A = this chain, B = another copy of it.
Amino acid sequence: MSEGSLEGLIDALRRLPGVGVKSAQRMAYHLLQHDRTGAERLALALQHAVSHVHHCERCHTFSEARVCATCLDPQRDARQLLVVESPADQAALERSGSYRGLYFVLMGRLSPLDGIGPADIGVHPLLDRASDGVVQEVILATGFSAEGEATAHVLAAALKARGLSVTRLARGVPVGSELEYVDLSTLAHALHDRR
């Protein structure tokens, strides 16, 4: 029963992040047995996205237009530029509904061990973007992992050297958390950054 097309599909599904051989097999069997329409729709969606989705020239997020809708929105405050690692982080901040400025999406973070240096995450384009004369504050919202912190550190130094004002998202206790379940390092930061 193991023949070319089925094996090829299982191999291709395994390239998806978080998908091992077992789930790839289950996905392939499911699509072929119960959802051939879904399989065709996924094929078209993949092709459409690969040919239509590029990066916004200004903020580097995914966009079908040369400049994305957020960058073009006159309602947004162009004096604030918030720096995130990924479109997913940007989407999370947008869902919070508490930010009305513009974004810059690094598409990664510094990771010397993986060979990801400043050029790979667009540090120079960020410096150029932030030096447009309109931006007054750059908010660093890279993750609070070791790599995200290192990235924020490097960016802060480069931005400050250009005379830009730089802030960082606050670390602290997540809303809704019981203190006893919060890790000690977060508690220490929450205490240090108390307002």
- Chain A positions within 8 Å of B, measured between CB atoms, are 1-6, 8-9, 11-13, 15-18, 23, 25-33, 35-36, 38-50, 52-53, 56, 61-65, 68-70, 86-88, 90-91, 94, 103, 105, 107
The residue on B at minimum CB distance from A1 is: B61
* Contact between B5 and A52, CB atoms less than 8 A apart: yes
Q: List 9 A-B pairs, minimum CB-CB distance, nearest first.
A: A12-B45, A43-B46, A12-B42, A15-B38, A9-B49, A1-B61, A43-B43, A5-B52, A5-B49
Q: Oligomeric state, in number of copies?
A: 2
**Nearest CB of chain B from residue A109's CB, rounded to whole Å:** 13
A26-B17, A27-B16 given; A9·B46 CB < 8 A: yes
- Give A85 to B36 CA distance when docked, in angstroms: 19
Most buried by B among A4, A41, A45, A65: A45
* Contact pick for A1, options B5, B17, B87, CB 8 Å: B87
* Contact between A9 and B64, CB atoms less than 8 A apart: no
Contact partners of A68 in chain B: CB under 8 A: 1, 3
* Contact between A42 and B26, CB atoms less than 8 A apart: no
A1-B70, A25-B91, A88-B26 given; A6·B49 CB < 8 A: yes
* Contact pick for A46, options B1, B42, B64, CB 8 Å: B42
* Contact between B1 and A48, CB atoms less than 8 A apart: no
- Give A178 to B16 CA distance when docked, in angstroms: 36
Extra contacts, 4 of them, besides A4-B64, A12-B42, A32-B49 (Cβ < 8 A), are: A6-B49, A6-B62, A9-B48, A43-B50
The residue on B at minimum CB distance from A30 is: B17
The residue on B at minimum CB distance from A52 is: B5
A41-B12, A52-B5, A53-B32 given; A25·B88 CB < 8 A: yes
- Give A61 to B41 CA distance when docked, in angstroms: 24
Contact partners of A91 in chain B: CB under 8 A: 1-2, 25
